[in-house]
Structure 1
Amino acid sequence: MKTKKRILLFTALLLPLMVSTELVLRNYFGFCHEVLMKSDPDIEYINLANQHTQRFRKNYHYNEYSMRSNPIDSSCIHILGFGDSIINRGDHDDLATTLLSNSLSTLYHQKVQFLNVSAGSWGPDNCFAYLKKNGDFQAKKIYLFVSSHDAFDNMTFEKIVGVSKSHPDKQYSFAIYELLDRYLIPRMTLKKNIQASVIDHIPEGAPFNSGFGNFKDYTAKKDIPFILFLHASIPELKEGKYNSLGQKIIEFAKQNDITMIQDINMMTTEDYEDQLHINASGQKKVAAAVLAHYQK
């Protein structure tokens, strides 16, 4: 009888604790409210359109074209910013593209949308596949935000949506299970710290990413100004120069007379979340660098 009473008492204490934990994880931290993705036969993968969610106290908005932007306003001046998680991560209001939409609207006394076409781990070829599939939205300028590793980061169409935990296609049913399965257990089983991987060497036999040349050709044909923004990783920041992959991108830009913005002399380690990704202060500096280019 004592054992049965202990079990009942333990259950009576544990159940409210689990319910409270579940509610806090869901309603405060945004568990079970992940940004979802889908596979795409042309782009590899893309975020679902018309998503609005809050995750880790940050707001995520995707419009009808899967952009991390407000819905398309046809009365606005449109500028396209393509990239990966560098311009994709963070609260909606903190993104460089959101800041630029506001700043450029003030500068030109006309509403501007700096549209954010991005997804985690997209390379220039993913970005160009989106452009080819969806058009340029009559953009006045096109920016491509890249890091050194993008030089040879080519699409493989390997299935990752619904396989990789960073590319989910459905929500977890329980927040506590998501906490365990996606975050705690992987960190306990991996021997090394989980950090953004920073590639600093040319993969053997890999071709230079075709997206760079495709953007150059497309924008030249359409007479749309094209600007490359090369983002530095922390190792590059400490070294004071871009690695061999970044040098390939710089060389490409010089050979093709492409305007380039580099942030290696603008950032500090305080602007980073990890070895590669930037926080809100980093997003402000990216926006400031683009805005300074406009004001030249």
Structure 2
Amino acid sequence: MKILFLSLGVILGVLLLLEGCLRLIFGLGQRPLYIADPEIGYLLAPNQNIRRFGKSTIINQYSMRTGEIKPHREENRLRLFLLGDSIANGAWWTDQTETISALMTEDLQTILSEKVEVLNASANSWGPRNQLAYLQRFGTFEAQKIILLMNTDDLFATAPISLVVGKDNNYPDHQPSSAIGEILERLFIRPQPIPGMSELLTEKGDRVGINLQALARINAIATQENSQFMIALTPLKREVEREPKDYEKRARERLEEWTKTHEVVYLDFLPIFKKQEHTLNLYRDHIHLSPLGNQLVSQHISQLVKINN
């Protein structure tokens, strides 16, 4: 009996040690959480401060990847509002200090020699209609400039979807029971098909046109709030390696023509990326940017802000 209790004690001690190591070293057992929203689709849950795989993620009271902010802009301060998807957000693999918004804050404070605040409202797979719904819900926070950071895929984004929250591993709505439990969950629980999801993802009609209409409504909100609307577009990795596909070229042309018609400042990163000596180093996968890519995007957007300040 003593041997049994001793064995159980050793096993329990090993499990507790393993749990502690997984939490302290890797940050497992605590992950960024999402909340479903009928208009926006989903947002990162507000008021989160997480350190995972050595990277810090801070989500403020307005579900922004930004520290806590005041709803009204302080005097003698330039406030920019960055809207985007996972590229602007940076996700769990990007430290808070290495997000594009954080880098822009540093760049602009140096360039302009004034206090600068860059808000970052973004989430994985958001498209123009998600971003429009966010602005309609929360407003512009008196930002002098609203900058929408898109990628080519965003031109074909579907309507906001909330079904993924709590059902897709990438959009959890609760913490795992433990760090060990999170590993077991990833290894042994297979994702199940989400009823109705495939129909929503295959939205019919002119998606590019619908998303351009969303941009027009964002522009109208910016105009109403005396803010300047700006758009920056990052390319997919294969577009830099080769060329955009024909349907992507047409969508890009439509966006560029729209910005000219509506007199919206537009920055296309495709030619900028192609000029770089080591273009592949700008990406961490087929779409998301590396720290080097984030720095390049931050620098060029900051210069654009300076020119239009």
TM-score, structure 2 normalization: 0.81
2:33 to 23, 36, 55: 36
CA apart distance, 1:180: 2.8
CA apart distance, 1:241: 4.0
CA apart distance, 1:295: 4.0
Runs of 4+, deviation exceeding 6 Å: 7-10
For residue 237 of structure 2, what is the aligned residue in structure 1? 234
1:272 to 262, 283, 287: 283
CA apart distance, 1:107: 2.5
For residue 102 of structure 1, what is the aligned residue in structure 2? 106
The amino acid that maps onto 2:51 is Q
2:156 is the alignment partner of 1:159: no
Distance in 2 separating the partners of 1:147 and 1:81? 14
Task: Quote the sequence identity (%).
Answer: 28
Q: Is residue 29–residue 180 contact of structure 2 (8 Å, CA) maintained in 1?
A: no
Q: Is residue 146–residue 227 contact of structure 2 (8 Å, CA) maintained in 1?
A: yes
CA apart distance, 1:20: 2.3
Q: Is residue 50–residue 63 contact of structure 1 (8 Å, CA) maintained in 2?
A: yes
Distance in 1 separating the partners of 2:284 and 2:7? 40
TM-score, structure 1 normalization: 0.84
The amino acid that maps onto 2:266 is M
CA apart distance, 1:207: 2.7
Measured at CA, do residues 179 and 215 of structure 1 come closer, stay the same or move farther in structure 2, by a change above 3 Å? Answer: same
For residue 198 of structure 2, what is the aligned residue in structure 1? none
2:114 is the alignment partner of 1:113: no
2:267 to 261, 267, 286: 261
For residue 136 of structure 1, what is the aligned residue in structure 2? 140
Q: Give unmatched runs, 5+ long, in structure 1.
A: 191-201
TM-align CA RMSD? 2.6
Deviations 1:73-105 (A, max 9, x none): 532321111001001121100011001112212
Measured at CA, do residues 216 and 244 of structure 1 come closer, stay the same or move farther in structure 2, by a change above 3 Å? Answer: farther
For residue 194 of structure 1, what is the aligned residue in structure 2? none
CA apart distance, 1:292: 2.5
Measured at CA, do residues 247 and 56 of structure 1 come closer, stay the same or move farther in structure 2, by a change above 3 Å? Answer: farther
Measured at CA, do residues 58 and 20 of structure 1 come closer, stay the same or move farther in structure 2, by a change above 3 Å? Answer: same
Distance in 2 separating the partners of 1:158 and 1:171? 18
The amino acid that maps onto 2:111 is L
2:173 to 152, 157, 169: 169
CA apart distance, 1:61: 0.7
Distance in 2 separating the partners of 1:113 and 1:276? 27
Q: Give unmatched runs, 5+ long, in structure 2.
A: 192-201
Q: Is residue 142–residue 225 contact of structure 2 (8 Å, CA) maintained in 1?
A: no
Q: Is residue 144–residue 226 contact of structure 2 (8 Å, CA) maintained in 1?
A: no
Measured at CA, do residues 164 and 249 of structure 1 come closer, stay the same or move farther in structure 2, by a change above 3 Å? Answer: same
2:221 is the alignment partner of 1:215: no
CA apart distance, 1:109: 2.5
For residue 244 of structure 1, what is the aligned residue in structure 2? 247
For residue 20 of structure 2, what is the aligned residue in structure 1? 23
Deviations 1:1-53 (A, max 9, x none): 9xx97x87875664443322211111111111111111112211111111111
Measured at CA, do residues 33 and 246 of structure 1 come closer, stay the same or move farther in structure 2, by a change above 3 Å? Answer: farther
The amino acid that maps onto 2:89 is N
SS at match of 1:98: helix
Q: Is residue 148–residue 246 contact of structure 1 (8 Å, CA) maintained in 2?
A: no
The amino acid that maps onto 2:284 is E
SS at match of 1:154: coil
The amino acid that maps onto 2:296 is K
Q: Is residue 126–residue 211 contact of structure 1 (8 Å, CA) maintained in 2?
A: no
Distance in 2 separating the partners of 1:250 and 1:181? 44
For residue 79 of structure 1, what is the aligned residue in structure 2? 80
2:301 is the alignment partner of 1:286: no
For residue 196 of structure 1, what is the aligned residue in structure 2? none
CA apart distance, 1:113: 0.7
CA apart distance, 1:270: 1.6
2:135 is the alignment partner of 1:127: no
Q: Is residue 147–residue 231 contact of structure 1 (8 Å, CA) maintained in 2?
A: yes
Distance in 1 separating the partners of 2:182 and 2:246? 37
CA apart distance, 1:108: 2.5
Measured at CA, do residues 246 and 16 of structure 1 come closer, stay the same or move farther in structure 2, by a change above 3 Å? Answer: farther
CA apart distance, 1:114: 1.0
How many correspondences in the alignment? 279
For residue 205 of structure 1, what is the aligned residue in structure 2? 205
